[in-house]
Amino acid sequence: MNKQDKNPGNNRENLIKLENAGLTAEEQQLFCDAVPVPYEPYSLEFVERFHNWIRANSLWVLAFGTGCGAIELNPLMTSRFDANRFGVMMRPTPRQASVLIVAGYSSVKTLKRIIRSYEQMQGPKFVIGLGICTINGGMYYDSYNTINCLDRYIPVDLYITGCMPRPEALLAGFMELKRKIKAGECDGANRYVKDFDWYKANQKKVIKKWDMPDYNW
């Protein structure tokens, strides 16, 4: 063990490198081989509270519609419900988003894309599981290809149950997410870092053909 390994103050990414097994040598150069690092709150509490207030009132959403759950997202942005008035804005790419909504059931195939989208988002970031399918698989609970519990694979900060939840329920969910962010209770991104090995083990149990980097950021 070298001197660097004995120093607990060193950043985790300096101590551990990901193998990214399954990728070619050329592909390995395209992705980060350092493990993710946690978000550190500001040392001054009032500064962190101010930043949480800003985050809560500027929710940039990446909607990952996997099935019927996506149907209820469109009216959310229309003039009748007008989610924009609450600071909710849809974004086209993970790099621009702070909230990932997984709407509907997840299969092994879509889980792979969900993980990649989540890992490309900048932190702090938050996840909403929309619909009963994200909790227990819903009507597809016994399907060989359905993921029954989303938070075994990525951390979920808020579930909105129903089959499917109406736009009013979605708005209520956003209000609860805003409250939790302001209170500093949405720590899913840090849980993902803390339990990174556990999440990766669960992901690779169901995704047999991994062929993607262990960390996409």
Lowest mean pLDDT among 10-19, 117-126, 148-157, 200-209: 10-19
Please work out, in degrees rounded to the nearest 5, the angle formed at the alpha carbon of residue 124 by the alpha carbons of 84 and 14. 155
- pLDDT for position 98: 94
Q: How far is 180 from 156, CA to CA, in rounded Å?
A: 13
pLDDT tens across 130-154, in order? 988 888 888 888 888 888 899 999 9
Residue ranges covered by each domain of the chain: 58-206
Q: Which amino acid is at 144?
A: Y
Across the range 115-138, mean pLDDT stands at: 90
58-206: CATH architecture: 3-Layer(aba) Sandwich (3.40)
What does the pLDDT look like over 60-103, one tens digit per residue? 999 988 877 777 788 888 888 888 888 888 888 999 999 999 98
Look at residue 137 in the predicted model and tell me its pLDDT.
Answer: 83
Q: Which residues contact 184 (CB under 8 A, 6 or more apart)?
A: 41, 48, 49, 52
In terms of Cα–Cα distance, which of 103, 121, 139, 145 is closest to 60? 121
Crossing angle of helices 108-120 and 196-206, rounded to 10°: 150
pTM: 0.85
Using the predicted structure, report yes or no on whether residue 13 has a pLDDT greater than 80. Answer: no
H helix intervals, the chain: 3-6, 12-15, 25-28, 45-56, 73-76, 108-120, 133-136, 167-182, 188-194, 196-206
Length of the chain counted residue by residue: 217
pLDDT value at position 123? 84
- 142-168: b or e for each residue (b if 16 or more CB lie within 10 Å)? eeeebbbebbebbbbbbbbbbebbebe
Query: How many other CB atoms sit within 10 Å of the CB of residue 84?
Result: 12
The amino acid occupying position 207 is I
pLDDT for 187 beyond 70: yes
214 vs 14 pLDDT, higher one: 214
Q: Is the pLDDT of residue 4 over 70?
A: no
* The predicted structure's pLDDT at residue 7: 41
Cβ burial of 21 (10 Å; 0-12, 13-18, 19+) is: exposed
